[in-house]
Copies of this chain bind each other. A is one copy, B any other.
């Protein structure tokens, strides 16, 4: 586990350096807007999506370099969803990654604009990076856009808000978690594999891995929200129950949610084993994602 810790730390440093290169400087106008973009990017975060993306590329071409642009785009996009989800009109959260949320620091209008800018920059980065194969940039952009729009992350957030206070159903819960969380983690794995030149067959299988580990990630999140402390988590806890959110815990209870999480992890592992080559790093990452404490 100690070895994984240093691996994660090393990769996080690579991702953060790349984010710093691609983000506009705070000394470029509009200063406050660029400051707000950087604030939310650099106020914490485990960089799980970029690290999965880089690991997927590494698996197929023995280098994470071709996946740097995609990794940056994934983190920009993920951070925009956090900023917008935290807004007063949405989840109205004051704390994120242990710090005040964007709208608490910069005001609501600027938080909306910082989110919009990060979303747009994600696509600018993907379109501007020299692709390692012809047509690769538009493939990556299509993956990211498809996973994150109304048929993906935004659609999941819509249903999440719409289902607050309603009786949880397995169908509705699956729709929310598949779209709000799993779609982007699936895209992270697929984008890394595309950047690494994976075969169609491997691409399909790593997508299945990504989807299952994405659901397991969300199940672990639901459990942490129900059982952890705010200090451990860096954001409000118990808030899901308070808002009557549709979660694994609400639908199945804590014990069954734990079983569900383990089953999802097993499913993810078997998808990995079907790949054309062994993937020990992705295995470790999958275990980490499920067992993390924050």
Output the least CB separation between A161 and chain B (Å). 6
- Which chain B positions have C-beta within 8 A of A120? 119, 145, 148-150, 154
Query: A123 contacts the other chain (Cβ, under 8 Å)?
Result: yes
Q: Is the CB of B134 within 8 A of A138?
A: no
Known contacts A90-B112, A116-B84; A145 and B123 CB within 8 A of each other: yes
Q: Would you list which residues of chain A between 124 and 173 have a CB under 8 Å from chain B?
A: 124, 126-128, 131, 134-135, 137-139, 141-142, 144-146, 148-151, 154-155, 157-159, 161-162
List B contacts of A121 (CB < 8 A): 145, 149-150
Partner of A112, one of B87, B138, B144, B145: B87
User: What is the number of residues of chain A that contact chain B, defined by CB distance less than 8 Å?
Assistant: 52
Query: A127 vs B143: C-alpha distance in the bound complex, in angstroms?
Result: 9
CA–CA, A194 to B259, complex, Å?
A: 54
Q: Verify if A266 is at the interface (C-beta below 8 Å from B).
A: no
Contact B150 A24 (CB under 8 A): yes
Shortest CB–CB separation between residue A79 and chain B, in angstroms? 13
Please give me the residue from chain B that is nearest to A138 by CB atom: B137
A142: chain B residues within 8 A (beta carbon): 124, 127-128
Q: Smallest Cβ distance from A133 to chain B, in angstroms?
A: 11
A29 to B142, CA, bound (A): 20
Contacts of A113 in B (CB 8 A): 84, 150, 154, 157-158
**Quick one: which of B30, B127, B158 contacts A30, CB cutoff 8 A?**
B158
**How near does chain B come to A103, taking the closest CB pair, in angstroms?**
8
A149: B residues at CB distance < 8 A = 116-117, 120-121, 124
Tell me the minimal C-beta distance from A176 to chain B in angstroms. Answer: 10
Given A112-B87, A120-B145, A141-B138, verify A33-B154 contact (CB < 8 Å): yes
Closest to A137 in B: B138
Contact of A119 among B32, B119, B141, B151 (CB under 8 A): B119
Contact B110 A158 (CB under 8 A): yes
Q: How far, in whole Å, are A224 and B142 apart by their CA atoms in the complex?
A: 39
Q: Which positions in A face B, CB cutoff 8 Å?
A: 24, 28-30, 32-34, 37, 84, 87, 89-90, 107-110, 112-113, 115-117, 119-121, 123-124, 126-128, 131, 134-135, 137-139, 141-142, 144-146, 148-151, 154-155, 157-159, 161-162, 175
